[in-house]
Structure 1
Amino acid sequence: MVATLIYTIFKDGLPFRKELLTPWMAATLIDFYINVVALALWVAHKESNWISSILWIILLIGLGSITSCAYIVVQFSKLSSQESSQNPMYYVLLKHPNKNGGEAAPKGKQHSFVVTLRILFTVLGSLMLGTLVYTLITDGSPFQMELLTPWMTATLIDFYINVVALGVWVAYKECSWSSALFWIVLLISFGSITTCIYIVWNLFQITCQDPVYLILVHCRGDRKQV
């Protein structure tokens, strides 16, 4: 992604130009940033304080998948040898126990947070679906060669690198390879619409009293192992 960014800047200049914001570029950016919301919430869960959370989220917004990749590499590098040998994905996805202070959130807050996330991702998924339908109606099919400008290509690469990160999470979470493959194909095809559906679906597999982090690590039949 760094190489793509440097190449595109040299070839096509800076992206802050009005003529680049075509209807399909705008739709792609909305799609991209809805996935960033999902990644940013994971970062906020992982980080031990709001300052580091805000810094990482600003970098996510500004640099996209470059930050996603850097953050994931940092999290893997923090694992102890024991964590790496046991279940590295589990320890990367969840906040370190020492950072939680050993205290669970009050049930009322858990309840409101689960419900809030259900509503948030339902709204975001609906927004993206509406954007997709509107752009198809007003600007036609996205499969037009003239739409594939250098910055559109760079944005799509940025978008799909984040999809890879989300796809790895889905593959880890799902109980079977067939269900994982099904969701990953939908992620590739429908982007953040699938991200929102998948998150909302998993949020409805836990009760409103359960901690939200359960959706990060376990398939539906395995939730009680936490």
Structure 2
Amino acid sequence: MVTAASIGVSVKTLFIVLFCVLTASFAHLFIFGDYISCFDIHSRWLILITADFTSFAVVIGAWISYKESSWIVAVVLVSTMYLFGSLVSLGYILTQFYKLSHEEYVKDPLYFVLARRQKRDVSGGSSVVAARVIFSVLGCLVLGVLIYTLILELSPSYIKYFASCFVTTAIDMNIYVVTFSVWIAYKESSWASALFWIVLLVCFRGVALCAYLVLELSYLSPHQPASLIILNATNRETSVVQPSNSFNSLLWNT
């Protein structure tokens, strides 16, 4: 029988492996490659990758801002993410895993990694509407860049523009895909639905992620905080109800 603790350990192990792989890739790029070539503005495909990366970074950044009580810490983390990509986000996620107590691992480790450590007031209404608008616009922009790039450059000739950093860039982007795939699998109650969205994420990356977020936001009423889309349906119901027993008290007070 698969337990919550075993799932938590598996996910943590996966992120440790990904962190090591990306660290080795960055080290190889800085030592033997040409890091500056990653910013060649003449590559249209680089613009597409930047658009995809921005959509991933905005979502991760929003989650970090939700988690952190200090906006300064959140700004520093999001800023460094643009220099070191998913290396920062993986490090942050692993830090949240290492903060878990044994009881939290047994209860629901993914919930405690995703949720705030302390209860704070959150606003609904305008935040839900604003989030819908932001991710709708972001998704349309990434889709527009994708279509523009495919029309003007049908072959993957972008490799010639930044060949020395192509492997690192590909690893970095695919780690984001894996990260959000784990989150979608956690959120979806049906494996068929989870697989459907993961396939879309692999194929369309930022466009699919924004579409998924807008869909999830559409399930929230204007009176609920937009941050509820982080959690799955079960944890979402727990989080909006005042704690009445020891388990719910643990959810609020950890």
TM-score with structure 2 length normalisation? 0.79
User: What corresponds to 1:191 in structure 2?
Assistant: 205
Q: Does the 8 A contact of 1:136 with 1:142 survive in 2?
A: no
* 1:62-141 → structure 2 map (5 Å cutoff): 62-98=83-119, 100=120, 104-105=121-122, 109-141=123-155
1:35 aligned to 56, 67, 81, which one? 56
CA distance, structure 1, for counterparts of residue 69 and residue 183 of structure 2? 21
Q: Does the 8 A contact of 1:24 with 1:135 survive in 2?
A: yes
User: What corresponds to 2:168 in structure 1?
Assistant: 154
User: What corresponds to 2:7 in structure 1?
Assistant: none
Supply the RMSD in Å over aligned alpha carbons. Answer: 2.1
**CA distance change for structure 1 residues 117 and 18 in 2, over 3 Å: closer, same or farther?**
closer
Q: Does the 8 A contact of 2:37 with 2:161 survive in 1?
A: no
Deviation at 1:14, TM superposition (A): 2.3
**CA distance change for structure 1 residues 148 and 83 in 2, over 3 Å: closer, same or farther?**
same
Residue by residue over 1:59-113, the C-alpha shift from the partner in whole angstroms, topping out at 9 and shown as x without a partner, is 2222111001100010011112111110011111111135x2xxx33xxx42111
User: What corresponds to 1:8 in structure 2?
Assistant: 29
Deviation at 1:141, TM superposition (A): 3.4
1:176 aligned to 187, 190, 213, which one? 190
Q: Does the 8 A contact of 1:125 with 1:192 survive in 2?
A: yes
Residue by residue over 1:12-61, the C-alpha shift from the partner in whole angstroms, topping out at 9 and shown as x without a partner, is 32225764641111211111121110000000000011111112111222
Q: Does the 8 A contact of 2:51 with 2:142 survive in 1?
A: yes
CA distance, structure 1, for counterparts of residue 187 and residue 78 of structure 2? 24
CA distance, structure 2, for counterparts of residue 210 and residue 145 of structure 1? 45
Deviation at 1:144, TM superposition (A): 7.5
Secondary structure class of the residue paired with 1:110: coil
Residue by residue over 1:133-172, the C-alpha shift from the partner in whole angstroms, topping out at 9 and shown as x without a partner, is 0011111133776467231221121111111111111000
- Determine if the alignment matches structure 1 residue 224 to structure 2 residue 237: yes
CA distance, structure 1, for counterparts of residue 144 and residue 38 of structure 2? 25
Q: Percent identity?
A: 35
CA distance, structure 2, for counterparts of residue 57 and residue 16 of structure 1? 22
Stretches of structure 2 that go unaligned for 5 or more consecutive residues are: 1-21, 240-254
CA distance, structure 2, for counterparts of residue 38 and residue 201 of structure 1? 15
CA distance, structure 1, for counterparts of residue 207 and residue 238 of structure 2? 29
Structure 2 counterpart of 1:129, which letter? L
CA distance, structure 1, for counterparts of residue 67 and residue 134 of structure 2? 20
Residue by residue over 1:194-224, the C-alpha shift from the partner in whole angstroms, topping out at 9 and shown as x without a partner, is 11001100000111111222211123x8743
Secondary structure class of the residue paired with 1:213: helix
Q: Does the 8 A contact of 1:94 with 1:213 survive in 2?
A: no
Q: Does the 8 A contact of 1:121 with 1:200 survive in 2?
A: yes
Structure 1 counterpart of 2:62, which letter? L
What is the aligned length? Answer: 218
Structure 1 counterpart of 2:186, which letter? Y
